Structure 1
């Protein structure tokens, strides 16, 4: 499911009217927080120093060799299958009933003249128009939602090419398309030990800020599986960092996953990030899970159907050959790589990502609050009267 990537890209190319409506609903505090980012913050958060002593790839990893490391992206993979079930569950029975009634009435009119009448012809015409109108509405408004997990690329991919020192993102066009960035422009959400407590249920996030890429918009992707707390995300970032900085010999070789539509991947995705929580939970909670196992089976089946109804993503030739002897280095993505209409939208929203100059000012220490007894003025001394 590519809902997060789709929503982030739509925000980057948002129209002026939609943006004004969005800003109007924000509180003053939210508006200040969105713009409260300094150049110094970015310098502190984008670095390539060692952050962990235990580099580890949590997967899925699809390729690992001397030239490149390829992993799965996607912000809500564990929820994949819900849209597929909704789409197939509604369109499937409706299509069967519509074809059965429409083709049946046409067949009777064509083979049994005694049943042919003005009413039967009008009924057949009505059914054809009704089905056509229904599928037209779906194609115009519903297909954009269905293709977030059906009839699209099976996975979002990220490729780290250590020979060219580049990072490539493979996404459908409606999620931003295929882009290429220099490795040294990559920022990570997993560099501060203080954030370890926030990693429960989160994925490793990589960001590319416009001040580093030269583009007018922010790029973001979420890697691999959900974290289970602790330093898992920092371990995964350290694995990527060491691979790109030092080479494949500096990290343990990861277990490779298949890009085929495996039912094991479909059912196991629902339990990402729950292993540690499940082990530490009470026996009552574990018993309660036994009562909801049909829901896991249904969602897992939908996830597998989603994988079956998608195709394996394929990189452009220049990226597939990048790093090989005598082959060209893929060009870095620039604004001119987008269509003119998209360029205008991206530029119109460029102020979203502007940084304040300098470093964040130090917070002023708060004055200690006085209690009511301290704030109450002292009573006059009767002996002094």
Structure 2
């Protein structure tokens, strides 16, 4: 689920930032790159919440990231394979120890020497298997299990900061200066170019707009992905405009959605995700095609739905630090 964020954080740790800046400047001089959009630039005449908000109040909005639904497959393959491995290793250790301790009622009085060799080999294989799995495979499982249930991007209009709520292995909690954000969007994109799109925000190291959770400046750069994938360019641009107007003009310019995203891991939401029926197809002839395909794939959908829900249950609900939760509260009454 956190593949984009994991690749971005892992790549940032290894990237030569100075070389990256030089390459970026070369691209700008060629005239082929679209200049980054700042938060002062309007990109749409309409606003759209994109069904992407967890919270909306006079102080802040909490927004989801693009890949919330893309989970379950890693839990099935990596988690299922790991469970089988662990069960097999524990079973082997149990049988060997039971025999060596004389707890087997069918055990002969004396054991052949090769059984002891087998026991040592079995224990060695079990130990090596545990090490290899947790050293090289388990980190991939943490992309969607035994980690934060979701990533949250908070836009606080009072402090004019963007807060990223992430687990430590994806960069941790940081605070970012709203006014120094750059938006990777093309206002002139075609409608098709916006299909599956989401907002990408970036802060350059030279902007000095990156802070840690305690508010101390960091000499670093940051990127974050925001919002549910859209169905076209008009939705994508209107979604960014929704966030921009909320931060620049207040909640009246970006009305509260009729329905916020629930954070509770209801099982039917997992099966709805696995079903993948676009509500935009309701009332259209193409709806029957999607229904037919999903009925044919029903066993796969049910398996996906189960492991999607299991991955949610194996995660914890993240919370911002107290200082960020209270940020802007005292000043809000004056606005």
In the alignment, is the contact (CA less than 8 A) between 1:77 and 1:269 conserved in 2?
no
Partner of 2:38: 46
Q: Structure 2 vs 1, CA of residues 58 and 15 (structure 1 numbering), >3 Å: closer, same or farther?
A: closer
Quick one: which of 297, 309, 312 aligns to 1:307? 312
CA distance in structure 2 between the aligned counterparts of 1:200 and 1:320, rounded to whole angstroms: 34
Q: Structure 2 vs 1, CA of residues 77 and 38 (structure 1 numbering), >3 Å: closer, same or farther?
A: farther
What is the SS of the residue equivalent to 1:63? strand
The 5 A counterparts of 1:36-185 are 36-37=27-28, 45-73=37-65, 75-110=66-101, 111-112=103-104, 114-117=108-111, 118-185=113-180
Quick one: which of 196, 202, 211 aligns to 2:197? 202
Normalised by the length of structure 2, the TM-score is 0.81
CA distance in structure 1 between the aligned counterparts of 2:26 and 2:164, rounded to whole angstroms: 27
In the alignment, is the contact (CA less than 8 A) between 2:86 and 2:130 conserved in 1?
no
Mean CA deviation greater in 186-195 or 141-150 = 186-195
Output the aligned Cα RMSD.
Answer: 3.2
Q: Deviations over 1:347-376 (max 9, x none)?
A: xxxxxxxxxxxxxxxxxxxxxxxxxxxxxx
CA distance in structure 2 between the aligned counterparts of 1:238 and 1:80, rounded to whole angstroms: 29
Structure whose CA Rg is larger = 1
Residue 261 of structure 1: how far off its partner (Å) = 2.0
In the alignment, is the contact (CA less than 8 A) between 1:225 and 1:273 conserved in 2?
no
Q: Deviations over 1:208-261 (max 9, x none)?
A: 233434666542222231111141111211211121112222222122222222
Mean CA deviation greater in 212-221 or 300-309 = 212-221
Partner of 2:5: 5
In the alignment, is the contact (CA less than 8 A) between 1:12 and 1:217 conserved in 2?
no
Length, aligned pairs only: 314
Partner of 1:354: none
Partner of 2:214: none
Partner of 1:28: none
What is the SS of the residue equivalent to 2:4? helix
Residue 88 of structure 1: how far off its partner (Å) = 2.4
CA distance in structure 2 between the aligned counterparts of 1:34 and 1:176, rounded to whole angstroms: 26
Q: Structure 2 vs 1, CA of residues 104 and 35 (structure 1 numbering), >3 Å: closer, same or farther?
A: farther
Could you list the runs of 5+ residues in structure 1 that have no partner in the other structure? Answer: 24-30, 328-385
What is the SS of the residue equivalent to 2:200? strand
The 5 A counterparts of 1:245-256 are 245-254=248-257, 255-256=259-260
CA distance in structure 2 between the aligned counterparts of 1:83 and 1:101, rounded to whole angstroms: 26
Q: Residue 264 in 1 paired to residue 268 in 2? A: yes
Residue 287 of structure 1: how far off its partner (Å) = 2.8
Could you list the runs of 5+ residues in structure 2 that have no partner in the other structure? Answer: 211-218
